[in-house]
Structure 1
Amino acid sequence: MTTVLGLVFLALMVLGAPIAFAMLIAGLVAVWLKPGLSELVVMQNLFSGLDSFPLMAIPFFILAAELMTGGALTDVLLRFAARLVGMRRGGLGHANILTLTFFSGISGSALADAAGPGAMLIKMMRKAGYQDAYAAALTASTAIVGPIIPPSIIMIVYALTDTSVTITGLFLAGVVPGFLIALSLMVVNHWISVKRDYRSSPDLIDPAPLLRLFWRALPALMLPVIILGGIHLGIFTPTEASAAAVLYALIVGRYVYGTLRWSMLPDILFRSALMTASILFIVATSAVFAWVLTVGQIPQQMAAWIAGMQLSPIELLIAINVLLLLVGIFIEPLPGVMIMVPILAPLAEAAGLNPLHFAIVVIVNLTLGMVTPPVGGLLFVTSAVSGVRMGPMVREMAPMLAALFTVLALLTFVPAFSTWLPNLLGYAH
């Protein structure tokens, strides 16, 4: 059964089928060829995979992000970021990183960051004299912060897959790693800017006082603070926080910034529904795939095999990192979490690893797959929106990938980067 599942899944992936359809068809074929099983179990698992109240947070967070970006939000964040770091060497590159980092606290999606504000930032860097391929590579690398700094769609799905962690705990655990990634990329940008003589861009810096620009950007920057603060204070649950985020985004976009018009709502709702449908379809088909794996005893067999190797916790983390890096090259983070976490989380728990520490390592690792050649999804999206060919962009990725993998190593060997903030606020799991 599991052999059929794996062969059909790999064949469909090689043929270029979308991963959701590959998982669904592979699961259906495996069940169909297994005597005594009815194909109805596929439909049952499709619906049971979506029968979860916390999953309602996904469409609400997507809608909140669309509402916040319906007006001049990107311009507001860019002006503030440019005022903070624009006068430094390679200032526009730093502003790119800072803007996308701010934006990640709103969107929760790497692809949305790259296709939205990322496209605009690439054009600005091109006009300022940066090489096209470098601007695209920097934008793709920074966009991976989107799923790591809260709110994060991947973290919501992870918490539903592994009940030993909470959504709030994961949100808090992602804050420090997200800023570490941004800092590492700023170091790389400074080094390359010195090497290539990319100077600051004073003509792009708003002459308004920094405090005024901060005050202008504050309503947008407050969204993740309101989400985390409201959950921590017990005002609402994570799912209720997503609905509160929609209301806050609507008020801020319409009445604070005044850039969100009622006529824009149909398009915003359509885009939100389309993105929600694609994500939830992946969640549903992943449930089918995971059920077939469970029936075939694959998680138990793999757990027994790895346990027999008697690896230390650090050795286990290294082995899991290597495995996930290989998986992440070919599979997007969301289905990667749905497929791999039920197998790997029990191993981590048996080895005594902190669940939040392990979760962040898994999420960051799988997210890095989005910018790892040859299949990285973010590379294709960034190439499409920037008009830069994949080859030159991938060549520019080398120092950025080195920085990103250095951060992954730090997160692997120093659990405090992931666990300090959740422990401080009482969310140890």
Structure 2
Amino acid sequence: MSLILVISVCVLMAIGMPVAFALGLSACIAVLAVGQFSMIVVLKETFTGIDSFPLMAVPFFILAAELMSGGSLTHVLLRFAGQFVGHKRGGLGYTNIVSLTFFSGISGSALADAAGPGSMMIKMMDKAGYGRAYAGALTASTAIVGPIIPPSIIMIIYGLQDERVSIGALFVAGFVPGILIAIAMSVVNWYVSNKRNYRGDGCFPPIREVLHNTWTAIPALLLPIIILGGMRAGWFTPTEASVVAVFYALICGKWMYRTLEWEALPHILVRSALLTSAVLIIIGFSAAFAWILTVERVPYAMAEWITQLQLSPWLLLIAINILLLIFGIFIEPLPGVMVLVPILAPVTAAAGVDPIHFAMIVIFNLTLGMITPPVGGLLFVTSNVAKIPLPELTRELKPFLVAHAIVLMLLTFIPSLSTGLPHLLGFK
């Protein structure tokens, strides 16, 4: 049955079927072909996959991000980031990186970062004389910080797949890798801007304006701190933190920034519901797909095979990195976590790899697949919103992919980059 399952999903994805439906339909085909189980089991496992209290955090975090965006948060963060780096050579590139990094602490989604503030920055960079394809490549490469800096939807799903790590620990662990990615993107922007002479405006804003922009941005910047601080203090769980985030976003947009209108709420709620539905469909069908693999004992067979190779922890991580990079090219991060983590986590646990360290490797690898040609879902989104031909966008990606590879090696071989902050704050 597992062979039929794998062949079916590969064929369906090859003909262009969305990943979620390819996983669900392949599960149905496998069950029908073998005849050992009733078709109702696919439906049951699909609903079981989304029947989880911690999953309630997903729609609330999505709604909080939509409320913040509807409250002109994007403009606030752009002004705040631009005042510090906009005057330098390549200043708009730095502004893009900093603003997307800040926005990642609210959206938790790479696609939201690219389609929201990212699309605005591409237009601004294009008008300022930057190559439009370069602006798109920079935006897509930086947007993958979204699932890494908390709050992160992928981290919530990961925490449900591996009971050894808490969602709070994953949230804290994402800070340092996220900052490393931002620094790596800044280095590439510095190199390209000097090579192509992308100039800034050359004028640092008046101190009065800097203070005003900073004061205005403080409420938005406090959201990740409130979420993580409240969770660490024991005031609320990750699921409750998502509800707190919604009310905080509503207060910021309506009464602090005074840009969120009541008339906009129905549109925000509908958009949040559509995004939530897409996420939950992926999770549900991934659960049915993973159930068949479990019934067929595929995870256990793979774990035994890898264990028999007797690889050292470092060689094991290198092999897993290669597997995840290949896997991430063809499948989205959410189903990737659902399918691969139950297989690989026990193997790395037996090898003595810290579960938080391994979690960040998995999340970064699968997220990196979103900008890896030829499939890269984030590339298609950026190409669409910025009206950039995909081949031009792909050509500009090379230095960014090299920078990401260096960050990946650092995260792989220096575990403390992922585990240091969680352990310091008491997450074990």
* 1:66-103: CA deviation from partner (whole Å, max 9, x where unpaired): 00000321111111101111122101100000000000
TM-score, scaled to structure 2: 0.98
Query: Does residue 427 of the first structure (1) align with residue 427 of the second (2)?
Result: yes
Structure 2 counterparts to residues 3-402 of structure 1, below 5 A:
3-202=3-202, 208-402=208-402
Distance 2:421 2:43 in 1: 41
What's the CA shift for 1:209? 3.3
* Paired amino acid for 2:269: L
Distance 2:292 2:308 in 1: 24
* 1:358-401: CA deviation from partner (whole Å, max 9, x where unpaired): 00000001000001000001110000000111111111111111
Q: Share of identical aligned residues, percent? A: 61
What's the CA shift for 1:211? 2.4
Structure 2: state its 5+ residue gaps: none
Greater alpha carbon shift after TM alignment, 375-384 vs 30-39: 30-39
Distance 1:18 1:72 in 2: 32
Distance 1:401 1:35 in 2: 45
Distance 2:349 2:206 in 1: 51
Distance 2:127 2:43 in 1: 52
Distance 1:183 1:322 in 2: 24
Distance 1:75 1:193 in 2: 24
**Native 8 Å contact 2:88 2:202 kept in 1:** no
Distance 1:204 1:335 in 2: 45
Greater alpha carbon shift after TM alignment, 365-374 vs 25-34: 25-34
* 1:93-143: CA deviation from partner (whole Å, max 9, x where unpaired): 000000000000000000010011111000000011100110000000000
Greater alpha carbon shift after TM alignment, 76-85 vs 59-68: 76-85
**Native 8 Å contact 2:87 2:203 kept in 1:** no
Distance 1:388 1:47 in 2: 39
Distance 1:132 1:425 in 2: 42
Structure 1: state its 5+ residue gaps: none
**Native 8 Å contact 1:61 1:151 kept in 2:** yes
* Paired amino acid for 1:4: I
Distance 1:393 1:36, change over 3 A: closer
Q: Secondary structure at the match of 2:310?
A: coil
TM-score, scaled to structure 1: 0.98
Distance 1:239 1:45, change over 3 A: same
What's the CA shift for 1:257? 0.2
What's the CA shift for 1:206? 7.5
* Paired amino acid for 1:196: R
Distance 1:206 1:263, change over 3 A: farther
* Paired amino acid for 1:128: A
Greater alpha carbon shift after TM alignment, 77-86 vs 58-67: 77-86
Greater alpha carbon shift after TM alignment, 253-262 vs 203-212: 203-212
* Paired amino acid for 1:375: V
Q: Secondary structure at the match of 1:116?
A: helix
* 1:160-197: CA deviation from partner (whole Å, max 9, x where unpaired): 01111100000000000000000110011011111111
Distance 1:208 1:137 in 2: 34
Count of matched residue positions in the alignment of Structure 1 and Structure 2: 428
* Paired amino acid for 1:348: T
**Native 8 Å contact 1:128 1:201 kept in 2:** no
Distance 2:159 2:210 in 1: 39
Distance 1:72 1:4 in 2: 49
* Paired amino acid for 2:277: A
Q: Secondary structure at the match of 1:88?
A: coil
What's the CA shift for 1:255? 0.2
* 1:392-422: CA deviation from partner (whole Å, max 9, x where unpaired): 1111111111001100110000000000110
* Paired amino acid for 2:94: H
**Native 8 Å contact 1:193 1:199 kept in 2:** yes
CA root-mean-square deviation: 1.1
**Native 8 Å contact 2:71 2:252 kept in 1:** no
What's the CA shift for 1:297? 1.1
Distance 1:389 1:208 in 2: 42
What's the CA shift for 1:207? 7.0
